[in-house]
Chain A
Amino acid sequence: MGKRHNWSFPYFIFMILFVVLPLLLVAVYAFQDSNGRFTFANIIRFFSDSDSLSTFALSIEVAIENTVLCILLGYPAAWILANKKYNRSSVTIILFILPMWINALMRTLATAELFNMLGFQLGKGTLIYGMVYDYLPFMIYPIYTILQKMDKSYAEAAQDLGANPVQVFWKVTFPLSMPGVTSGILMVFMPTVSTFAISEFLTNNKIKLFGTIIQENINSSMWNYGAALAFVMLLIIGATTLLRGNDGEEAGSSLI
């Protein structure tokens, strides 16, 4: 036992260096002014700056829209994929997951080029399109996993008790697949809030999201304010992860 404990040492060092320390640095910078003195000014500045707040609101709005669209498109897709009647091969699943294997930046650039070529006006429409395109697999996969693993006898028991196929879905299949949906929401919603590349490429920087302003601040050496913004975002991520509870664990871990 004692020896085995030592094996975790390298991972422990890794976590300290690349996860805990950077997070601490973010927190430290967030509460310092440019001279290194402790201050709440950065946080206060965010909450009193209407530009920042409206960007933040817009980010949340886009993230919600993206998540809702991903559920609406992803759930039926996952359901069809998990249903042996419609899908007999694993090839279809790979086709759905395939985009995840290609760098998101490349896909986004390619999408932007496609819109330019077709003469579409880049704006919120194209932004949402890009978001859904990028994040849809993250919604499909956890839902698919949970639907596929679901014991068929639940649906049969419901039918046996008098539920027609529509009732079976709404009263049994859907509630039982909620952990997958929760997992999907977390994997789509949070990254959407902090994304900046998609908005940059697919709107030509016309629409700024929260991730964009963090990136801009950091890039223009405003480390403290950038860190404060990142800190606020981290808190929100932390809060939504708590909302998820234990339900999503199964579906989430199956993806990893």
Chain B
Amino acid sequence: METHIIEIQHVSKSYSGKKVLDDINFYVRTGEFVTLLGPSGCGKTTMLRQIAGFVNPDEGCILLEGKDISSIPPYERPLNTVFQRYALFPHLDVYDNIAFGLKLKKLPEEEIDRKVRKVLKLVSMSDYEDRDVESLSGGQQQRVAIARALVNRPKVLLLDEPLAALDLKMRKDMQIELKEMHEKLGITFIYVTHDQEEALTLSDTIIVMNEGRIQQIGTPADIYNEPVNSFVADFIGESNILNGTMVCDRRVEFIGHEFNCVDEGFGDNVPVDVVIRPEDIYIMNRTEGAQFTGVVRSCTFKGVHYEMFVNTESGFELQIQDYNAFEVGSTVGMLIKPADIQVMRKERTCNTFDAVVTDASHVEFLGASFECDATGFEPGSRVKAEVDFDKIELMDHREEGAIGGEVHFILYKGDHYHLTVLTEGRGHVYVDTQDIWDKGDLVGINISPSHIKISGTDGQEA
């Protein structure tokens, strides 16, 4: 029977009113290599620090072998951490850094000596025991940090972006070594990274996080092949993410064409997101037999394959990878197999805000007052305000908008950008636009009165 060494139940954490973790639930099987993956600020490090004991959850509990450890201080938890910037003690040499935990346990000298030598051998640092840690290279410091944690035989090893500071070549080597160590030692690893490739390479299970919530839990293949939403699809690997409509079971429409697919149970004529990996689009020089055609706009050699951007005749831009190069400007035909079309339910089809009517021509939401037609609603009544994605205007300067916001997440949908804008009051506004914005841009947000649709919250109509 498989056992769960770690179980996270309903863990939430806020810092000064901002929720960094929101009802997190997952478990880790004994001996598993689990990766918490997400962009910076998604809460993955906070989650790891809670398991280590440096941060206490506001709500929920953390079980280690079935026992709640939330109230146990970090020094009594049988877990060890490899810190992001290693945190090797600069006043101790390599040997004493590694022996630190063993000496605290008051083990006999010979045993400490034996264990330190053994772990130094494991990380291939046998000749370095007398070295000053500051004289070591980044990769060597990393090995010492791993040895210092492993020598205590922790039940779970926590790794906080341990390879982030290494250069690419060294990172690849260390990935292989970490994987080997994990297999050899049988210790459970919980690994935090923002590098999706690293997560795919190393993990048995990946937990994708964004904005304090778990987006998807699955094996690397699951996460890559069947992302549950556009965030995961965009974050893991390259992808074409497109708006589509599920015509009926096994039939989906996007980029102006209908395709056979393998998905069922969405209902008829339901708006969906469609994900196609660039390597899953077949491209050829002839147009007969193709599902749709387009013109090659750019072609770049990427080592193993060529990366092409193709404009379809219906006006969408697709990213395609192929072993063959296709001439820029040439007309090509394309095919997509039903099994390579990943259909995802849309999380939302328009912006929905909780609003309060202030008078017949104004409602208040997102902390600002907007003009709109609210006739028939009592002032003070709570209503739902809906605004289509493409009806939100973004201004270059915060002062030009009714409220200010920051571009937080950008998704290219083949013929437009889908932006997530975080408002000053930490509300989310989703915007479809042709304009190019960058992540972190400060914008003003305007909504014209005719595009705000008001309806009662509990079905009561005007």
Contacts and interface: CB of A to CB of B under 8 A. Distances in A.
B104 A162 contact: yes
B83 interface: yes
Nearest to A172: B89
Contact of A160 (B74, B84, B85): B74
B358 to A, nearest CB: 39
Given A175-B91, A176-B90, A176-B91, A158 B100 contact: yes
Interface in B79-118: 79-81, 83-85, 87-91, 100-101, 104-105
A164 B75 contact: yes
B152 A159 contact: no
B454 to A, nearest CB: 45
B148 interface: yes
B355 interface: no
A156 B83 contact: yes
A154 B89 contact: yes
Contacts of A159: 53-54, 73-75
Contacts of B101: 161-162
Interface in B12-56: 52-54
Interface string A159-188: 111111001000110011010000000000
A161 B91 contact: no
A162 B78 CA distance: 9
B74 A156 contact: yes
A162 B75 CA distance: 4
B90 A162 contact: no
A162 B105 contact: yes
B40 to A, nearest CB: 17
Task: Among B54, B79, B100, find the residue whose CB has the most chain A CB atoms closer than 10 A.
Answer: B100
A244 to B, nearest CB: 17
Contacts of B73: 159, 164
A157 interface: yes
Interface residues of B, number: 25
A31 B84 CA distance: 61
B81 A160 contact: yes
Contact of B87 (A151, A164, A171): A151
B52 A157 contact: no
A159 B149 CA distance: 12
B100 A154 contact: no
B104 A154 contact: no
Task: Among B74, B76, B88, B148, find the residue whose CB has the most chain A CB atoms closer than 10 A.
Answer: B74
A254 interface: no
A164 B77 CA distance: 11
A153 B104 contact: no
Q: In which size bucket is the chain A interface?
A: 10 to 19
A162 B152 contact: yes
A153 B75 contact: no
B87 to A, nearest CB: 4
A235 B76 CA distance: 52
A113 B442 CA distance: 62
A157 B89 contact: yes
A156 B49 CA distance: 10
A123 to B, nearest CB: 42
Contact of B100 (A153, A156, A161, A164): A161
Given A161-B80, A161-B104, A163-B104, A153 B91 contact: no
Nearest to B52: A160
Contacts of A162: 75-76, 101, 104-105, 152
Contacts of A153: 83-85, 87
A159 B80 CA distance: 10
Interface in A182-235: none
A153 B52 CA distance: 13
Contact of A157 (B53, B83, B105): B83
A161 B152 contact: yes
Contacts of B83: 153, 156-157
B96 to A, nearest CB: 10
Given A158-B100, A164-B75, A176-B91, 19 more contacts: A151-B85, A151-B87, A156-B87, A157-B87, A157-B88, A158-B89, A160-B52, A161-B100, A161-B104, A161-B149, A162-B76, A162-B101, A163-B75, A163-B104, A167-B75, A171-B100, A171-B104, A172-B89, A175-B91
Interface of A: 151, 153-154, 156-164, 167, 171-172, 175-176, 178
24 contacts: A154-B89, A156-B74, A157-B88, A157-B148, A158-B100, A159-B73, A160-B79, A160-B80, A161-B80, A161-B100, A161-B104, A161-B149, A161-B152, A162-B75, A162-B76, A162-B104, A162-B105, A162-B152, A163-B104, A164-B73, A164-B75, A167-B75, A167-B104, A176-B89
Give the top 9 A-B pairs by smallest Cβ distance, nearest first: A161-B101, A153-B87, A157-B87, A159-B74, A162-B104, A175-B91, A160-B81, A159-B75, A162-B75
